[in-house]
């Protein structure tokens, strides 16, 4: 395995973040708890008691946010780094990933391209004391294979091959992630949407947590953009204060109102089909829609559209 990422500063902070990762894994298993988080300030590192309701969790995927296509660097001069990674048949997550073509030794080698924008954003989250977990279809390989290449510490893995089911990969992921982190803001960064769109994650959580839940859809092609990072940072800022929570509740009410106005019932299969909103509130939707247009089979995105502008 070859890597061009990582730094002395990341290695120096790795032991501290490993401790926090273990604490977060316990939190995921037992529900809300008071977490002692290590925060970086202008004068150094301080420790503060953060109420769970203002301590967001960011659940990340490898594809889209980190792994990007070869053409990524050629668009707008975006920075990338490459690594040649070899995986073995014995540790490959067959349940959640398609099977590659193995060589005679039972290994698979591929050259991967990673976005520095995505990698730097995750490292910035960790430096700010925000809890980051893997919600990746690569399961434990996210830690054992990709994490070392990207210079990340060991992070909790919240997906499991056990109980992996659903009409799509996006739905299977939502079912598992939604059961975690009661009472805490949750940002899921994923490359594949569930059938019912972005609102599916919030609707699968407790009613009290729905307004402080966000799914950021970043398709593997074309990969993460500056707009994606800015949108996620704005949401995280709101998720960490009482005033921000009020704004997120207002945004959710407005989104639900828009969905009701644009929804119509089709008798054929009793599903709700939303018409794409227009105007200022819906201005970002066409761009997001275009990013997925060439990724999925014809007709699939008609099912996804419901709830997309959430």
Residue 191 forms part of a structural domain? yes
Residue 64 forms part of a structural domain? yes
Residue 297 forms part of a structural domain? no
**What's the confidence (pLDDT) of residue 296?**
44
Is the pLDDT higher at 26 or at 205? 205
**For all residues of the chain together, what is the average pLDDT?**
77
What pTM, to 2 d.p., does this model score?
A: 0.73
**What's the confidence (pLDDT) of residue 78?**
83
C-alpha torsion sign, points 239, 137, 118, 217? negative
For the cut 60, the answer to whether the pLDDT of residue 133 exceeds it is yes
Rounded distance, CA 219 to CA 304, Å? 14
Residue 110 forms part of a structural domain? yes
Residue 287 forms part of a structural domain? no
Residue 279 forms part of a structural domain? no
**What's the confidence (pLDDT) of residue 74?**
79
Where in the sequence is the domain holding 115, given as residue range(s)? Answer: 8-253
Question: How does residue 274 score in pLDDT terms, banded at 50, 70 and 90?
Answer: very low
**What's the confidence (pLDDT) of residue 87?**
97
Question: How does residue 49 score in pLDDT terms, banded at 50, 70 and 90?
Answer: low
CATH number at residue 128: 3.40.50
Q: Please give the average per-residue pLDDT across 9-32, as a whole number.
A: 41
Residue 308 forms part of a structural domain? no
- Percent of the chain beyond pLDDT 70? 68
**What's the confidence (pLDDT) of residue 303?**
39
For the cut 80, the answer to whether the pLDDT of residue 253 exceeds it is yes
Residue 300 forms part of a structural domain? no
How many domains does the chain fold into? Answer: 1
Quick: pLDDT tens for 200-247. Answer: 999 999 999 999 999 999 998 889 999 999 999 999 999 999 999 999
């Amino acid at each position: 395995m070859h890597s061009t990422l990582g730094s002395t500063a990341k290695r120096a902070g790795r032991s501290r973040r490993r401790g926090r990762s273990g604490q977060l894994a316990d939190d995921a298993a037992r529900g809300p708890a008071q977490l002692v988080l290590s925060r970086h300030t202008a004068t150094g590192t301080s420790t503060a008691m953060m109420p769970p309701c203002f301590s967001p969790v960011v659940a990340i995927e490898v594809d889209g946010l980190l792994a990007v296509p070869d053409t990524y660097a050629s668009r707008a001069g975006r920075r990338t780094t490459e690594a040649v990674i070899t995986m073995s048949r014995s540790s490959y997550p067959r349940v959640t990933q398609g099977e590659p073509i193995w060589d005679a030794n039972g290994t698979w080698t591929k050259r991967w391209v990673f976005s520095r924008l995505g990698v730097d954003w995750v490292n910035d989250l960790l430096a700010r004391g925000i809890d980051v977990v893997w919600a990746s279809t690569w399961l434990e390989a996210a830690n054992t294979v990709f994490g070392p290449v990207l210079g990340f510490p060991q992070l909790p893995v919240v997906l499991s091959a056990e109980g992996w089911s659903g009409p799509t990969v996006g739905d299977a992921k939502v079912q598992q992630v939604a059961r975690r982190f009661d009472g805490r803001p949750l940002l899921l960064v994923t490359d594949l949407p569930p059938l019912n769109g972005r609102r599916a994650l919030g609707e699968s959580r407790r009613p009290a947590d729905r307004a402080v839940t966000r799914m950021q859809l970043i398709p593997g092609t074309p990969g993460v953009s500056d707009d994606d990072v800015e949108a996620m940072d704005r949401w995280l800022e709101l998720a960490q204060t009482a005033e921000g929570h009020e704004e997120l509740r207002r945004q959710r009410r407005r989104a639900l109102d828009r969905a009701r106005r644009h929804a119509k019932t089709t008798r054929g299969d009793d599903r709700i089909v939303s018409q794409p909103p227009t105007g200022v509130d819906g201005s970002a939707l066409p761009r997001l829609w275009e990013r997925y247009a060439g990724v999925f089979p014809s007709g699939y995105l008609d099912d996804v559209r419901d709830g997309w502008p959430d």
